[in-house]
Amino acid sequence: MKIWTIALLSVRRLGGERTALFYVLLLPLMILLVVGSATGGAGEARLEVGMVSGGGPLATELRDRVDAYPRVDVVSYDDPDELRDAVRRRTVLAGIVLGSVYDQTLMAGGTAEVSLIVDPALDATAAMRSMVSAAVTEQAARLQAARFASVRAAGTFDEALERAGTIAREPGGTTVESATVGAPADEPFVGGFNYQAPAQVILFVFITSAAASGMVIESRRLGVTRRMLATPTRVRTVVAGEGMGRFGIALTQALIVFVVSTLLFGVRWGHPVGAALVILLFCLVATGVGLLMGTTLRTAEQAGAIGPPLGIALGMLGGCMWPLEIVPTPMRVFGHLFPHAWAMDAWIGLIGRGEGVGGIAVELGVLAAFAAVLLPLSVWRLRRSVVG
Amino acid sequence: MRHALVIAGKDLKLRLRDRSVLIVAFVAPLALAVILGLAFGGTGPGFRATFAVADLDGSEMSRTFVEQVLGSPQLSGSVTVREVSGAEQAERLAASGDVSAAFVVPPGFEGSVRGGGEATLRVLRSSSSRVGADVAEAVARGFADRLNATRLSVITAVAGGVGEDPAALAAAAAAEEPPVRLVDAGTSSQQAGGPEYFGPAMAIFFLFFTVGFTARSLLAERESGTLSRIGAAPLRGWSVLAGKTLPAFVIGLTSMFVMLTAMRVMFGASWGDPLTLAVLTVVTVFGIFGVTAVVQTLARNQQQADSYAGIVGIVLALLGGNFFPIDQLPGAVRQIALVTPNGRALRAFGDLAALGGGLSTIWTHLVIVAGFGAIGMLIGAVRMRRVVEA
């Protein structure tokens, strides 16, 4: 009974601080909102290309052709210098500049230049260049044909161009036949709320547990624990209560993000037992870390200073900020030294691949192992600090 | 002035004795910047693809496609070409997702093209690929359109009533140059996920926590009763304020300096002209200082001052792009970021690295960030004087 009283006290102390409400409730929500909508549905990055277009019908046609690629978006720019700056800032991956006299030059029989502003060092450059080049070649072929025909007295250039367009659409000549093969791929589980919500659970359970470890230090410094021992309460009870309190805080944080993101954004969590196990095991790991910090650090300020950066750093390493599949392999391997990466792998299994408990057994096992090492160690230290 | 320096020296010593300031000002921002630098140190939003090609024609034309189009220097950097012997194998590779797309050049391809008949280049898109398959199809279409150009010219001329001999027309058409030329205007772009971005981003984020202790230390002096004793000394209010302000600047500037130097040494980051960089660094610390000064004067005790500064810092950092490269976020988010002092400062660091140049490149950013600092300092100073003189 006393265990519960001591444990509940910790959770209520967290609720008692009004600013804690920001860190525990509002901050995860804000991050979810910003990151979730920024990466919403982004299976594979869209290629944004900027374009300064001359404005004539030929220039517009070229623009529409590039824009018609399924994963390419064309953004208009007025000034080539502005576009060049955008490429250098990587606001857009490439810039296409048609001179202001693009149409006039071509109509008058001259040679027009399309300049492509790209960074050769960038991987996406080859993709952009191929696509723009194909669009330019297609238009050039028609223009060439129209010019060829019209100088041989086959009507005006405009008429010839229209005729070339009609002929180009007819079957015949060299054609490209494209077909999609293979089973349709699942929607990639790398963006949007459905990745961010589980990631925020992991991130914030850890940060809150680490930052709230200052309470353990305060209880010790203010002599609360010593006074509890002066009452007819056994050491075991005090230690268990304090430990349960840490666990309660971790679980509260997890449930807050879980409930709010489910209600607001309709996040799916996969197999319910699997999801519950991931959350519980990670809360146990966080409890261990919170207790360890609470018994190792000397002041509550230190806990407040170390907790959030540590939590953010491990979150970054473990894939809570971005999917680990986009980082270089050594970083991915390094990340798996910490529990976050395993918890995220478990979520990817549960939600991304729709696995059950069996499918994420390895990840659950590793999380349990983390807990099995951290908890006894931290309880032992807590006991020493309570008795000592 | 001397009084201010004495107070500043004492505060700085006190501050450094508490080791948490070392963590917040140096260890944490550096560690996070290094992780970010390593995680995003690649060559940008990735496009890498492998294409399979089955050349069943073995002609001069099909070899041109395989060796000069697919093997062009422009593609070879990010596209790997795998030549296979049969169409089935090509299809299998695409279906399994081992390649993004497969090309099949059918037997008799060159003969059909040269003879003016129908020739078909097949592209098998792997369903698991997106951009890669788009690129493959674009490459094939570009090649086909080039082959078609002569034919299209001849047919258009004939259909328009030109009565010349088709063979002579074809020879003339083949000699024409395409009227549009694609020219590469190469430039170097700034890796938005790189150390030039995340170094300052992390340093600025932690500035909210490091420079925020001016008000906090005044509140602490008030709580412990030493403030009224300082008030009893023959000191002017401003020298107390200056003494309290200086340590925050010193630590904030040192923190920024260490970060910039570390990014330079570890990742070879560069922000161009050192003088401009120095000005920007000072203005940035000043700007963030102004914001925290106002926020902290709203607090009644130390703890409140800390958590208010923390909340404002985190919210501004989220909106300002300290955690994500703003330039790669949607337009609306980008606009919001430029309204925050940290987002502005960050844009200035990014512009210095990406666009080069000196003060002329970033002066608008500088003015805005300095404006935040000046207004914040003014409000903060007026409110703080009340604390000092009360």
- Reported ipTM: the value is 0.74
The number of C-beta contacts closer than 8 angstroms across A and B is 378
pLDDT in tens, A314-345: 998 998 887 887 777 888 899 999 999 999 99
Chain B neighbors of A70, CB-CB under 8 A: 130, 134
pLDDT(A43) > 60: no
- Closest-CA residue of chain A to B330: A38
- Helix, strand and coil percent figures for chain B, each rounded to 5: 70, 10, 25
Would you state the pLDDT for residue B45? 47
pLDDT(B46) > 60: no
- Max avg pLDDT among A183-187, B53-57, B226-230, B289-293: B53-57
pLDDT(B325) > 80: no
Q: B349, exposed or middle or buried, with CB in 10 Å at 0-12, 13-18, 19+?
A: buried
User: What's the rounded Cα separation, in Å, for the pair A310 and A306?
Assistant: 6
Q: Verify whether the Cβ–Cβ distance A152 to B75 is below 8 Å.
A: no
Strands B101-105 and A112-118 come out as: unpaired
Distance from CA of A137 to the nearest CA of B (A): 6
pLDDT(B193) > 80: no
Q: Verify whether the Cβ–Cβ distance B122 to A85 is below 8 Å.
A: no
Sorting pLDDT into bands at 50, 70 and 90, what band is A42? very low
Q: Which two tokens stand for residue B238?
A: 């401003």
* Chain B interface includes A332 (CB < 8 A): no
- Using alpha carbons only, give the angle A280, A297, A378 rounded to the nearest 5 degrees: 40
Give the DSSP per-residue string, B59-127.
Answer: SHHHHIIIIIITT-HHHHTTEEEEEES-HHHHHHHHHHTSSSEEEEE-TTHHHHHHTTS-EEEEEEEET
Chain B neighbors of A313, CB-CB under 8 A: 28, 31-32, 35
- Closest-CA residue of chain B to A82: B355
Sorting pLDDT into bands at 50, 70 and 90, what band is B275? very high
Sorting pLDDT into bands at 50, 70 and 90, what band is A287? very high
- Max avg pLDDT among A315-324, B51-60, B152-161, B334-343: B51-60
pLDDT(A10) > 90: no
The mean of the pLDDT values for chain B is 83
User: What's the rounded Cα separation, in Å, for the pair B35 and B50?
Assistant: 30
Q: Is the dihedral of CA B237, B239, B240, B244 positive or negative?
A: positive
pLDDT(B192) > 60: no
pLDDT(B43) > 50: no
- Using alpha carbons only, give the angle B83, B89, B94 rounded to the nearest 5 degrees: 85
CB neighbourhood size of B234 (10 A): 5
Q: Verify whether the Cβ–Cβ distance B45 to A27 is below 8 Å.
A: no
